[in-house]
Structures are given as structure tokens and as C-alpha cells.
Amino acid sequence: MSYDPANIFARILRGEIPAYVIEDTDHTLTFMDIMPKADGHALVIPKEGARNIFEISDEALQHVITQVKRVARAAQRAYPGKGIRVIQLNGSEAGQSVFHLHFHVIPSADGMNFGFHGGAAADEKSLKENAQRLKQALATLA
């Protein structure tokens, strides 16, 4: 299977589909997951088209993982007292449902035992508030 430039994340990158963007860098886009597992559930994607971690260039992956770490730090500040889950899936057998490499950054508390994917979509107000909370925390990072 080859990379499909019509996937939803590629369409978000091109501005064809709206997203609650937290940060847009030269190499990555960070935005809210519209079906979050918790408040502050963000996605970090590369601007390079790659289905999974095996297809992305090493240079692009370095930019992505640096951004993942930044967003995880921001989530720690924005959601004190929470642990931070960083999740990345490769292939449908592993649960990947959008075939554009992406990392989930999810503030988590004890007892949060959730399956992956599916669930209810978040309301617009909640997405905006959580995006703003993470943006403010990112602005405080050096």
C-alpha cells in the first residue's frame, strides 16, 4: 500500500478540512483530536507524507519527535497532576486507522484504562478551550 494524499490528515495539512490547531511549525502540525480520550488529547503529525514510522525520513522524524516532546511538556503544564501518554500505531493490525504517521499526546490519570479509537466526538467549545490551554502552555516553554 502506498501513501494516500487524500487521507484526512493530508487534507488538514492542505487546509481542506478545519482543525483546532495548537502549533504549526515548518515540519509538523499539532492539533486537537476531535474524538479525544481525555481533555488535552493532541495529535502531532509530520508535514512529510508517510503512512507510518517505517516510511518517514530520519530527518522528518527528528522534527516530529522533538515536537512530541514539546507538546508532552506543555500538556504537563496545562494539566498538572496528570501523567502523559505518548502513543503511535503502525498498521491496521496495531490499531492505526488514519494512514498518515501521527503521535497521540494524552494527559492521563490513574485508573484511565481506555481502548483505542472510536468513542464520542468532543464538542467545539471543549476543543477550543483545550487547544487554547495547550497553546498557552507551549508559549511558556523555552
Residue-level pLDDT at 120: 74
Question: Which residues are known to be catalytic?
Answer: 102
pLDDT tens-digit profile of 55-85?
999 999 999 999 999 999 999 999 999 999 9
Per-domain residue ranges for the chain? 8-139
Task: Give the lowest-confidence range in 12-21, 28-37, 117-126.
Answer: 117-126
Orientation of helix 124-139 relative to helix 58-78, angle to 10°? 100
Look up the CATH superfamily of 8-139. HIT-like (3.30.428.10)
pLDDT tops 70 at residue 35: yes
Q: What is the pTM of this model?
A: 0.87
Residue-level pLDDT at 5: 98
Residue-level pLDDT at 119: 62
Q: How far is CA 103 from CA 42, 68, 77, 125, 141, in A?
A: 8, 7, 19, 23, 20
Across the range 102-119, mean pLDDT stands at 77
Q: pLDDT averaged over the chain?
A: 93
**CA dihedral of 114, 121, 33, 8, whole degrees rounded to 10:** 120
